[in-house]
Every structure is written in structure tokens, then in C-alpha cells.
């Protein structure tokens, strides 16, 4: 089955009890047991819920995985995975990492005696050099946020396999429409389903998928014990949103590509980061491991004084934290997604005070271009 058919048919999409063509919202915390020693497969919603299970089976299908789990947020999913590490273990990750992941590592892992090394994710030698005998996990995010640097997934997983290191990939930016980390040798794939998968800026959710049963059993225990489960209402909204993922991505990616070309040629823009541009350093690696170039780009303007003018003059995109909605979202990583990072770390990864990130929605591209052009010229 191809992906757009899978999105509509390859997981529970019909309620087995009534035949309802929309999986009902099983808005319940618990399930009556006719016999005290048995249950229907569901006993308590923190341990499992039919609406949530449908969302889990959906991401398993889309990521070509046997096992999957849903969480209350992308961060809950990431933390459940990071909890696979124990005292004395060593974690290697790219220096261009999602701000929340960076914060979690500094808040918890250091205190729990887990050592971390940040590497240049675009350079395979950098991953190799970071390996110690305690290294247990490689953590990949490609394209990265917000600079869209590219990590060669296959090269990193091959290196990890040589040393029996687990690999984890945050696949939020590409979605399962165009990048399949498990097929490239990654052990665990994570999504902030808040973004493109749900796609309507109305749910916060996280998903995890794997083909390793032992890892799944451990993560299932983490889901139960840490308690960051997805609620039935949000799972239901996610199931509604995901049905148009393929269509939405097609339009958003096309818009991003046209906007990138427009911005590259704009005199007020000093730099554009988009993996679809031939001059992007990771362009060929990205082409090799993905089916399209994604719907997110970032760009730089000349001075910090222009930032406020730019944001206040944009009328089409919403100005907000987050990405992956049907509406375009313009954000300012310096003060939004990466604000929790110390200034020197932000600058080291290239998150400057003049960097702007645009998540392209499904609007008519002429309107997006005209709007950005006005705002840029107002600076």
C-alpha cells in the first residue's frame, strides 16, 4: 500500500463495535470488567485506550514500524526515550538540537549521571570521534531546527551498528511522508505530532515508533510509569488531522520551495536555509534520504532592528511558536523555541538575533510572497 492510502486505511479507522467510520472518542478513564479476572484488552486509560491505540497504530503504519506509542507531547515522547539511558551511560547528539530536548538533557541527564557530547551532526567523523566505551545512544534530528542542517542517517546508523549503539531520530520536520528513519537503520523514531502530523495547531502530542520489541516493551513501561499519555480527545483530533497529511505536505512543500527561491533573490535577505536549494550544504545528502525538501525554511536579515518591523508587517502567516500547521507560521527562534538555551550556545549553533523561521502552510503562494515582500521592504 502506498502512503496516501495507508493514511486512510492501514490502521483502525472503523469502530469495531458500531461500524462508525470515525473512530469514537473513548472519553473514559476506566473500563468495566464483567469478570474480575479478565478485561476487554483495556483496563485503565493510562495503560491503553482504543482511540489512543488507533493513533498509535496509525504512526506504526506510516513509519513502517511494528510497534508504536503515543504521548501527551513531543517532549513526553523524547523524555520517555531518553529514560532508556542509565547512570554512567553516554549520549551523543547533534549540536543543532530542538531547544526543549537540549533543556531536558541539561535539566535531568546531568543530574542522573548521564554524560552527553554534542557533535557537528553534518560530519560523520565528529560522531566517530565522540564514541566512548560507555556510549549507548546516538540522537539524530534531520533537518535540524531551525537551521535545517542535514545529518546522513545511513552513515550514522552504520557507525552506530559497528559499536552496538542505539540510534534515535526525531522525524518531526520531514514527517513519514518523505523520510523513513527506521528503513535507514534507526532503532527508534520520534515525532512531535503537534506539528505536521496533526497539522491544525490545535493539539499537542508526541509519537514513538520502533521495530524492536524489547525497546517497545521498555518504552511502554515508561509511558505507563512516567504517565505522559495522550488523552482520548487529543488522539481523536490527531486521527482527524492526519488524514490530510499527504495533501497538506504536498502543498506546503511546494510553497516552501517557491518561497525559498523568492527569498534567495530578495535584496533584504542575507541568507536562506532550505535543503531544497542547491547551494545548501546538505542538499545532496538530503535528496538521497528524503522524497521532498520539507515545508520549513529559515532566513536571515541584516540587523536586529529590522526584526520587529518584519514581524509586525506580515499579515498572512501567524506569528507564533510552533510549526507544521495548515496556516503559515513565522517565528523568531532567538526569543521563542531557543530562548531557554544560553546565549553562547544559541550563537554557537547559528541561532542569531537576525534569524527568522518560516513554516509554510497551504495558502496561495502568491499571497505569501506578496506579504513577505511587503514586510521585507518595510524594514
Binding site for ligand PLP (CB under 6 A): 73-75, 98, 100, 141, 145, 170, 172-173, 192, 194-195, 204, 206
Q: Which of 170, 234, 292, 371 is catalytic?
A: 170
Distances (CA, A) of 154 to 164, 174, 188, 275: 15, 16, 14, 17
CB of 110 to ligand PLP, least distance (A): 20
Q: Which is nearer to ligand PLP, 85 or 375 (CB)?
A: 85
- Cell 525497546 locates to 215
CB of 193 to ligand PLP, least distance (A): 7
Q: Which of 46, 220, 243, 268 is catalytic?
A: 46
**Whether 44 is catalytic:** no
**Whether 195 is catalytic:** yes
**Whether 332 is catalytic:** no
List, in sequence order, every residue forming a beta bridge with 169; answer none if it has no partner: 140, 189
Q: Which is nearer to ligand PLP, 62 or 75 (CB)?
A: 75
Q: Which of 57, 95, 136, 195 is catalytic?
A: 195
Q: Which of 26, 57, 89, 98 is catalytic?
A: 98
**Whether 274 is catalytic:** no
CA distance linking residue 190 with residue 199, whole number of Å = 16
Nearest partner of 375 among 303, 322, 299, 316, judged by Cα:
316
CB of 141 to ligand PLP, least distance (A): 6
CB of 170 to ligand PLP, least distance (A): 5
Q: Which is nearer to ligand PLP, 234 or 292 (CB)?
A: 234
Q: Which is nearer to ligand PLP, 98 or 299 (CB)?
A: 98
Is residue 92 within 8 A of residue 138, CB to CB? The reply is: yes
Residue nearest to ligand PLP (CB): 74
Residue 37: DSSP 8-state = T
CA distance linking residue 303 with residue 33, whole number of Å = 65
Beta strands in 43-114 (DSSP E): 67-71, 90-94
Going edge to edge, which strands form the sheet with 296-301? 269-273, 296-301, 355-359, 329-331, 318-319
Is residue 117 within 8 A of residue 130, CB to CB? The reply is: yes
Q: Which residues are catalytic?
A: 46, 98, 170, 195
Amino acid at each position: 500500500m502506498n502512503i496516501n492510502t495507508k493514511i486512510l486505511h492501514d490502521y483502525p479507522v472503523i469502530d469495531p463495535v458500531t461500524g462508525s467510520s470515525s473512530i469514537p472518542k473513548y472519553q473514559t478513564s476506566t473500563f468495566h470488567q464483567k469478570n474480575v479476572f479478565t478485561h476487554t484488552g483495556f483496563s485503565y486509560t493510562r495503560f491503553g485506550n482504543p482511540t489512543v491505540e488507533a493513533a498509535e497504530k496509525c504512526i506504526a503504519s506510516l513509519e513502517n514500524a511494528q510497534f508504536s506509542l503515543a504521548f501527551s507531547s513531543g517532549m513526553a515522547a523524547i523524555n520517555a526515550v531518553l529514560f532508556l539511558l542509565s547512570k554512567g551511560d553516554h549520549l551523543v547528539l547533534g549540536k543543532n538540537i530542538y531547544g526543549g530536548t537540549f533543556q531536558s538533557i541539561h535539566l535531568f541527564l546531568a543530574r542522573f549521571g548521564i554524560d552527553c557530547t554534542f557533535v557537528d551532526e553534518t560530519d560523520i567523523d565528529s560522531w566517530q570521534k565522540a564514541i566512548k566505551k560507555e556510549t549507548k545512544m546516538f540522537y539524530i534530528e534531520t533537518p535540524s531546527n531551525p537551521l535545517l542542517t542535514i545529518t546522513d542517517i545511513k552513515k550514522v546508523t552504520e557507525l552506530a551498528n559497528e559499536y552496538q549503539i542505539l540510534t534515535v531520530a526525531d522525524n518531526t520536520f520531514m514527517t513519514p511522508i518523505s523520510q523513513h528513519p527506521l528503513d535507514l537503520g534507526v532503532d527508534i523514531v520520534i515525532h512531535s505530532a503537534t506539528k505536521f502530523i496533526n497539522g491544525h495547531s490545535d493539539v499537542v502530542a508526541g509519537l514513538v515508533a520502533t521495530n524492536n520489541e524489547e525497546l517497545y516493551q521498555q518504552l511502554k513501561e515508561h509511558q505507563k510509569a512516567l504517565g505522559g499519555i495522550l488523552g482520548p480527545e487529543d488522539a481523536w483530533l490527531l486521527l482527524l488531522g492526519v488524514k490530510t497529511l499527504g495533501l497538506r505536505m504536498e502543498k506546503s512543500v511546494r510553497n516552501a520551495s517557491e518561497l525559498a527561491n523568492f527569498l534567495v533573490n530578495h535584496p533584504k535577505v542575507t541568507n536562506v536555509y532550505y535543503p531544497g536549494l542547491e547551494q545548501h550544504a546538505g542538499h545532496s545528502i538530503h535528496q538521497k534520504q528524503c522524497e521532498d525538501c520539507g515545508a520549513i525554511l529559515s532566513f536571515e536579515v541584516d540587523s536586529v532592528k529590522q526584526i520587529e518591523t518584519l514581524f509586525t508587517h506580515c499579515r498572512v502567516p501567524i506569528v507564533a511558536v510552533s510549526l507544521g500547521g495548515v496556516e503559515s507560521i513565522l517565528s523568531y527562534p532567538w526569543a521563542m523555541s531557543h530562548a531557554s538555551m544560553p546565549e553562547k550556545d544559541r550563537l554557537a549553533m547559528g541561532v542569531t538575533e537576525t534569524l527568522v523561521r518560516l513554516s509554510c502552510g497551504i495558502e496561495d503562494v502568491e499571497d505569501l510572497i506578496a506579504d513577505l515582500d511587503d514586510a521585507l521592504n518595510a524594514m
